[in-house]
Amino acid sequence: MVNFTVIEFEYLDWNASKDDDWMRELKERIRALPEAQKRILFLYCDEGTYTGVARRLGGSPSAVRKIIKKIKEQICTETSPS
């Protein structure tokens, strides 16, 4: 079983001395995602491939790709560094 609390802390830990405004906003957008989407995003970050995530979730790589694409659109379209 994957401990998503630990993974979330590792990816979204606040460190004001290292994060600029863009990074803080990106982390906030990730925190605001529904729990299921956050888990898929974190699995994708850990696995690095749609196939790896699909294998862990028992789904298809194409379904994972669609979900990751939707997540990226939600968190990245309005959040880009200047």
What pLDDT score was predicted for residue 23? 77
DSSP string, 17-77: TT--HHHHHHHHHHHTS-HHHHHHHHHHHHH-SHHHHHHHHTS-HHHHHHHHHHHHHHHHT
Distance, in Å, from the CA atom of 15 to the CA atom of 53, rounded to the nearest integer, reads 28
- The amino acid present at 54, given as its one-letter code, is A
- Boundaries of domain holding 58: 34-82
What pLDDT score was predicted for residue 27? 81
Residue 41 inside a domain? The answer is: yes
The two structure tokens encoding residue 5: 């609390």
Tens-digit pLDDT profile for residues 22-81: 777 888 888 899 999 988 998 998 888 999 999 999 999 999 999 999 999 888 875 455
Q: For residue 8, is pLDDT > 70?
A: no
Higher pLDDT, 1 or 6: 6
> How many folded domains does the chain comprise?
1
